[in-house]
A and B are shown apart, each in its own frame.
Chain A
Amino acid sequence: MQREVTFAGICGFIATLVLAVLILIGSRNLAHFDAALVAYTASILFATFGLTYRYTMWLQRPPTAIYWKRGWQTFLNRKYLRKNAINWLRHVTEDMALNRFIFERSRMRGLTHFLIMWGCIIAISITFPLVFGWLHFESVPGEMDTYQAYVFGFPTFTFASGSIFGFLIFHGLVWSAFITISGVMLAMRRRMREEGAAALQLFVEDFLPLILLFAVSITGLMLTASYTWLKGYAYDFIAILHAITVIITFLWLPFGKFFHIFQRPAQIGVRFYKYVGEREEPAICRRCNTPFTSLMHVHDLITTEKQLGYNYEMPGTSVEHYQWICPRCRRAMLALAQGQLWQRQLGGETPALIAYTPTTPSYVNPGIGEGPLGHEDAKNFHP
């Protein structure tokens, strides 16, 4: 364990150092760094260390480590590389950008997540470069109404400050706050009204992130309201309040629910693993002789289980390892094992004496689309 902790600590330190160097370079030796934003920078540097540390620790867990390795191996497999590249683009668009799988869970949940996610992405893509000094605006000499954007110290596009584009870009955080708050409100509504959610939700895990996002967004909007309509009334106080909410959110990033932002892309690796697995040799159930998943998956699970200290080996039998039995047969065997005990007590003929070849158990009601004969499991590579 100590080795893993040290490795994760080193990775965290390197990532933080890289970001610090990039801030120095991007802000041209802090020439464009806004000293008022130093607390934000410090909290982001802390979050970078925390996130990298936790991510590295996570990647070192046996099941994650094997998926991480196999994910890359299956992606870079020459036979499938071209198709994988196309699929990568599709998964990034459908899963990551459009949250299609969340819309499948429920349209309202999908919309909620979509709003929160895009609100945060827009806000972060504006604030991070500004805070780090990677992006700043200067008036074009001789044209006081025209601004030029500098990225990493290099001059890029220009625009009129009074233009619609200028209005949209300077109020980017206002739009992102509206989008985020809409999503937060929908999420809060569900959490307060739905009995299912009420049974499982935890304050720290489920409410705190929403409260933080709301606090950041609303205090940000208050700043805009103060300087736009109230002649800067209580601006300093609101600015400090806003800074506190933002800093707490960043400090919280590695610990709570927000960590899923960094874990979630792993699902793309899993998709490649499944895609390649389905096209390679299958694993055959050693009870019913039916393919039930990829051979690679069974081998990997056996390795993982051993690493975790499980001992599902069945020495001296043709099965060798319990992992070679498909989930359906496992359920049937549970019934048969119990039945065998009853039979011992009650007597009677033992059907096992008659030559019997086990077949794949079938779901009682395939019509309702649940279970082994349903489309979910069919896609899941169950026959």
Chain B
Amino acid sequence: MPKPERYEFFIDISRCIGCQACVQACSECDTHKGVSMIQLDYVDRSVSTQTVPVVCMHCDSPTCAEVCPADAIKRTGDGVVQTARKPRCIACNNCVLACPFGVPKMHNEMNLMMKCDMCYDRTSVGLKPMCASVCPSQALFYGTREEIERLRPSSHPINTFQFGQQMITTKVNMMVPNEPHVRLIDIAMSMEQAPVPQLLSDDPLMANLYEEQ
């Protein structure tokens, strides 16, 4: 089956309802059976139910791969940063600590780092990644740019992030509101930011979820 080049991954964290369907679905993947690669956290459980699902953003210049002393992380020609190569990974933890998005997971018993590879076994043959195919709120969405524009008219995808003075561009897109128009997300600006309290979180989440109607 030819690979549809037009398909892209779009992530909209504010839509996440923390249902864990992605976590379970991910562990069904053939390349890492029984182990989930999704990072799903409560931002601060004491004040909010806000959750954050993080998949690998597949950076154009992946810091994890660059800091790997064993040269175990490779990026495919189509921009997918693959999980660590099993014969090479020496479980040093550099990638876990260096990834600006906090994606890789270390499995010490196996001496192996494992991370999301955008279900390469599926996406390389035109199927959706496991997480995106089960996400009920479509916080994790895999489809064409036209589809996402039609479904989410009040937001647009961007793939540029700033961490301190470092700019990172990624293969995976993040949805941001149209107003104010931004071209990048400066992560540092949220250093002191509190999570969205329960009452408030209903507002953007629901508004966003049903924006089409």
Q: Which residues of A contact B (CB under 8 A)?
A: 58, 61, 63-64, 66-67, 95, 101-102, 104-105, 194-196, 198-200, 257, 260, 263-264, 266-267, 270, 273-274, 287, 293, 297-298, 301, 304-305, 308, 310-315, 317, 319, 321-323, 326-346, 348-349, 351-352, 354, 356, 358-359, 361-365, 368, 370-372, 376-377, 379-380
The 27 listed contacts between A and B (C-beta, < 8 Å) are A101-B111, A200-B31, A200-B120, A267-B111, A273-B92, A287-B191, A293-B97, A315-B164, A319-B191, A322-B166, A328-B41, A331-B102, A332-B52, A332-B195, A335-B16, A335-B195, A340-B189, A341-B177, A343-B200, A345-B178, A351-B197, A358-B194, A370-B23, A376-B105, A376-B108, A380-B96, A380-B106
A358 touching B192, Cβ below 8 Å:
yes
A334 to B68: give the CA distance in the assembly, Å. 23
CB distance from B16 to the nearest CB of A (A): 8
- A residues near B185, Cβ cutoff 8 Å: 334, 337-338, 341
Indicate if B151 sits at the interface (CB-CB under 8 A).
no
Number of interchain pairs (Cβ within 8 Å): 281
B88 touching A364, Cβ below 8 Å:
no
CB distance from A110 to the nearest CB of B (A): 10
B41 touching A61, Cβ below 8 Å:
no
Specify which of A66, A267, A346 is in contact with B90 (CB 8 Å cutoff).
A267
- A residues near B93, Cβ cutoff 8 Å: 274, 293, 297, 380
Encoded as 1 (CB less than 8 Å from any A CB) or 0, chain B from 8 to 52 comes to: 000011101010100100010111110110011111111100111
A315 to B166: give the CA distance in the assembly, Å. 12
A104 touching B110, Cβ below 8 Å:
yes
Tell me the count of chain B residues lying within 8 A, CB to CB, of chain A: 94
Indicate if B67 sits at the interface (CB-CB under 8 A).
yes
A364 touching B96, Cβ below 8 Å:
no
B13 touching A327, Cβ below 8 Å:
no
- A residues near B33, Cβ cutoff 8 Å: 196
Interface of A is mostly: helix
CB distance from A372 to the nearest CB of B (A): 7
CB distance from A377 to the nearest CB of B (A): 7
CB distance from B76 to the nearest CB of A (A): 9
A371 to B104: give the CA distance in the assembly, Å. 10
The CB with the most chain B CB atoms within 10 A, among A314, A322, A327, A346, is that of A327
Specify which of B41, B90, B191, B195 is in contact with A264 (CB 8 Å cutoff).
B90
B90 touching A327, Cβ below 8 Å:
no
Indicate if B116 sits at the interface (CB-CB under 8 A).
no
- A residues near B88, Cβ cutoff 8 Å: 260, 263-264
Encoded as 1 (CB less than 8 Å from any A CB) or 0, chain B from 148 to 182 comes to: 00000010000000011110000000111111101
CB distance from A195 to the nearest CB of B (A): 4
B101 touching A331, Cβ below 8 Å:
yes
A30 to B56: give the CA distance in the assembly, Å. 58
Specify which of B102, B111, B203 is in contact with A346 (CB 8 Å cutoff).
B203
CB distance from A117 to the nearest CB of B (A): 11
A365 touching B20, Cβ below 8 Å:
yes
B43 touching A321, Cβ below 8 Å:
no
A380 to B91: give the CA distance in the assembly, Å. 10
- A residues near B98, Cβ cutoff 8 Å: 301, 305, 323
State whether A352 and B194 are in contact (beta carbons under 8 Å apart), knowing that A67-B92, A331-B102 are contacts in the complex: yes
B36 touching A105, Cβ below 8 Å:
no
- B residues near A322, Cβ cutoff 8 Å: 100, 163-164, 166, 187-188
A345 to B58: give the CA distance in the assembly, Å. 28
CB distance from B159 to the nearest CB of A (A): 13
Specify which of A58, A270, A326, A345 is in contact with B180 (CB 8 Å cutoff).
A345
Indicate if B79 sits at the interface (CB-CB under 8 A).
no
A298 to B96: give the CA distance in the assembly, Å. 11
Nearest A residue (CB) for B195: A336
A63 touching B67, Cβ below 8 Å:
yes
- B residues near A321, Cβ cutoff 8 Å: 164
CB distance from B126 to the nearest CB of A (A): 13
Encoded as 1 (CB less than 8 Å from any A CB) or 0, chain B from 43 to 81 comes to: 111110011101000000001001111110000000000
A266 touching B70, Cβ below 8 Å:
yes
CB distance from B73 to the nearest CB of A (A): 11
Indicate if B5 sits at the interface (CB-CB under 8 A).
no
A101 touching B110, Cβ below 8 Å:
yes
Query: Which 4 pairs of residues, A with B, have the shortest CB-CB distance?
Result: A199-B121, A327-B102, A196-B30, A336-B190
A298 to B101: give the CA distance in the assembly, Å. 16
A38 to B82: give the CA distance in the assembly, Å. 42
A274 to B109: give the CA distance in the assembly, Å. 14
The CB with the most chain A CB atoms within 10 A, among B45, B93, B121, B175, is that of B93
Nearest B residue (CB) for A277: B93
B46 touching A359, Cβ below 8 Å:
yes
B102 touching A308, Cβ below 8 Å:
no
A299 to B136: give the CA distance in the assembly, Å. 42
CB distance from A259 to the nearest CB of B (A): 9
Specify which of B97, B163, B177 is in contact with A345 (CB 8 Å cutoff).
B177
Nearest A residue (CB) for B90: A267
A345 touching B54, Cβ below 8 Å:
no
State whether A368 and B177 are in contact (beta carbons under 8 Å apart), knowing that A349-B200, A351-B194 are contacts in the complex: no
A266 to B43: give the CA distance in the assembly, Å. 36
Encoded as 1 (CB less than 8 Å from any A CB) or 0, chain B from 182 to 213 comes to: 10011111111111110010011001100000
CB distance from B198 to the nearest CB of A (A): 11
- B residues near A364, Cβ cutoff 8 Å: 18, 20, 23, 40-42, 51
